[in-house]
Structure 1
Amino acid sequence: MRSKFLPVTASILLAAFTCAAHSEELRPITSDSGTLVWNNLPSLPGTQVAILAGDPQKKGFFIARLKFPANFKIAPHYHDISEHDMVISGTYHLGTGNKFDLNKTIPMTAGTYITIPAKTQHYGWTQDETILQISGVGPWGAIYNDTAAAQSQSNQTRIHS
């Protein structure tokens, strides 16, 4: 009778050791805004990006944080992929359509989550320094309505009051 339980016991022990080995690999990656590595984002002068997972420029899942200065304006654009955004800090004002209109935006504060479907024209602006976390399945990039909008985005990113 003992011999019948030996293979079962060995299987259970093997499974326990396998799970223990995998749990070491699955340690959470902890970070806060103070420990993230922020890099300048040349396509949005004044903005910084920190990559948490994956690579937005490559095929596959990614998570990135964008840090916008106060009074920053993002020209109307769209993405080929659906984008999942969460406001980490600050206030991000989001509008839809192909014309920028400060008065037609919705203020999103820290903790707000929104999904922007692929090909949806949208734009935004910040009231104060704002960190926006974006995630999706890349490659990711902004497609502006026209060349003038893209050049304007690079040359004039501050909202003038």
Structure 2
Amino acid sequence: MRRFVLVTLSALLAASATGAQAKAMKWMDASGAGLPAGAKMAVVSGDPSKAGPFVIRAKFPANYTVPPHHHPGDEVVRVTSAGALSYGMGDKLDKANVGSLTKGYHVTMGAGMNHYVFTTDPVDIQVSGNGPFAITYVNPADDPRKK
């Protein structure tokens, strides 16, 4: 019985810390990181601009699109809220050939692999990987940092 109470208390403390961490995150405009206008992001752990592991959260509004792009390292994208994130691979956005992720599911985007994402409803995601993180758009005109 004592062991069960200890495990339960530990689980509650871990859950409380996770909830407190989420509330303490500093949300900012994600366009500085290279995402199109409308997204918000927060760093959960690490520093995406430096070498080493990182975790960020992002909030995408309804009808949001990140055009075809790639990253220098693998990234794991996980949906953390209600709603769906649609994703596809390739140099051109093709909404007819996509996969869809809902809360709790994830996809790994390989380093250098061109891909895109879009939403129909608002959705929150978590991205983890090893930095430094960068976004390179297939079509440089799609890069919001150059507009």
Q: Give the shorter-chain TM-score range.
A: 0.7 to 0.9
Misfit runs of 4+, over 4 Å: 32-35
| Superposed displacement of residue 86, structure 1 | 0.7
TM-score (norm 2): 0.79
Asked if the contact 1:39/1:50 (under 8 Å) is kept, the reply is yes
SS in 2 for 1:132: strand
SS in 2 for 1:104: coil
| One-letter code aligned to 2:48 | P
Tell me the distance in 1 between the aligned counterparts of 2:100 and 2:139.
Answer: 26
Tell me the distance in 1 between the aligned counterparts of 2:110 and 2:27.
Answer: 27
SS in 1 for 2:143: helix
Please tell me whether residue 105 in structure 1 is matched to residue 98 in structure 2.
yes
Alpha-carbon displacement from aligned partner over 1:63-88 (angstroms, at most 9, x marks no partner): 00110001001100000100011111
Larger Rg: 1
Alpha-carbon displacement from aligned partner over 1:31-79 (angstroms, at most 9, x marks no partner): 3655532111123211000111001111111000110001001100000
Alpha-carbon displacement from aligned partner over 1:110-158 (angstroms, at most 9, x marks no partner): 111111110111001011111110000100011011222225x987xxx
Please tell me whether residue 82 in structure 1 is matched to residue 74 in structure 2.
yes
The count of residues paired between Structure 1 and Structure 2 equals: 128
Asked if the contact 1:45/1:154 (under 8 Å) is kept, the reply is no
Please tell me whether residue 92 in structure 1 is matched to residue 85 in structure 2.
yes
| One-letter code aligned to 2:131 | G
Aligned counterparts, 1:135-150, within 5 A: 135-150=128-143
1:120 aligned partner: 113
Q: Percent identity, please.
A: 33
| One-letter code aligned to 2:97 | K
SS in 2 for 1:46: coil
Aligned counterparts, 1:1-161, within 5 A: 28=14, 29-31=17-19, 34-42=23-31, 43=34, 44-89=36-81, 90-151=83-144
Asked if the contact 1:91/1:108 (under 8 Å) is kept, the reply is yes
